Amino acid sequence: MAKIKKVKLQQLRRQYELLQMEDGDSVAEYMTKILALSNQMRSCGKVLKEKSLVEKVLRTLTCKYDHIVVAIEESKNLEELKIEELQASLESHELRLKERNPEKIGD
């Protein structure tokens, strides 16, 4: 059983490392993917710190979020930033982008 868990964890870790936000993903969809993978990894015994999840999200967003990523990194303490706070900030920015470019809703 332990060997199966180890193999499963390796597979999940690889998926997690390779995961990037796709152009068509909304912030909510991307966060769901990351949190689902991290929960599966936790169920296999892997301890993931909140800070590493936050950094993973910031590192793997599409380029249209670059300026908000810089603003978050500059203005927030990443050691204390909760994943929920990050998601809320990104979703409000996403909403603003959609309001300004209604024809590009899927981007």
For residue 18, give its domain range: 2-104
The DSSP element (H or E) to which 3 belongs, if any, is helix 2-18
Residue 96: HSE in the Cβ half-sphere, 13 Å Cα cutoff:
9
pLDDT in 10s for each residue of the chain, 107 residues: 789 999 999 999 999 999 999 999 999 999 999 999 999 999 999 999 999 999 999 999 999 999 999 999 999 999 999 999 999 999 999 999 999 987 654 54
CA distances to 7, 16, 55, 98 from 2, rounded to whole Å, are: 9, 21, 29, 47
Amino acid at 37: L
pLDDT digits (tens, 9 = 90+) for 62-76: 999 999 999 999 999
Domains in the chain: how many in total? 1
Report pTM.
Answer: 0.88
CA distance 22 to 63: 10
Which pLDDT score is estimated for 28? 97
CA distance 63 to 58: 11
